[in-house]
Homo-oligomer: A and B are copies of this chain.
Amino acid sequence: MKASSLHGHLDALILSVVEDGPLHGYAIIEALRARSDGALDLPTGTVYPALRRLERTGHLRSEWSNVAGRDRRTYRLTTGGKQALATQRGEWREFRDVVSAVLGTA
C-alpha cells in the first residue's frame, strides 16, 4: 500500500500502537506491520522523524534503555497523547465517512 496516502494520519496510527504499552521505534514499525497484516511497511525515514515530532508536541515521552546490548529509545503515551489520540480517532471516523460517502464506497 502506498504509505504516502497516510499523509496526516500517521500520528494517530503511531499513538494507537503505543497505547497498548510502551514501545521503541523499531518495535512500532513491526507493530504497524503486524496490525495491518503486512500492508503498512513504513521506512525508518518516515517513522523516526514522526516520533520526534510527537515527542516535541508532548504526545509521547521517551526513555533510553539497553536491552541485550542494544540501545533502545522507548516511547510511551502522555496524558496529552491519550487525549490527542481520542480526538484523532474521531477525526478519522469523520474523514473516513465523508470520503466513503463522496466516493460511493460505503
A66 on interface, CB distance cutoff 8 Å: no
A17-B102, A32-B102, A99-B9 known; A1+B39 contact, CB < 8 A: no
Across-interface contacts of A7 in B (CB, < 8 A): 5, 7-8
What number of copies of this chain does the assembly contain?
A: 2
Cα-based distance from A82 to B95 in the complex (angstroms):
24
Cα-based distance from A104 to B7 in the complex (angstroms):
19
A39-B94, A94-B39, A96-B96 known; A102+B5 contact, CB < 8 A: no
A54 on interface, CB distance cutoff 8 Å: no
Residues of chain A in range 20-54 having any CB-CB distance to chain B below 8 Å? 32, 35-37, 39-40
A interface, CB within 8 angstroms of B: 1-2, 4-9, 12-13, 16-17, 32, 35-37, 39-40, 89, 91-96, 98-105
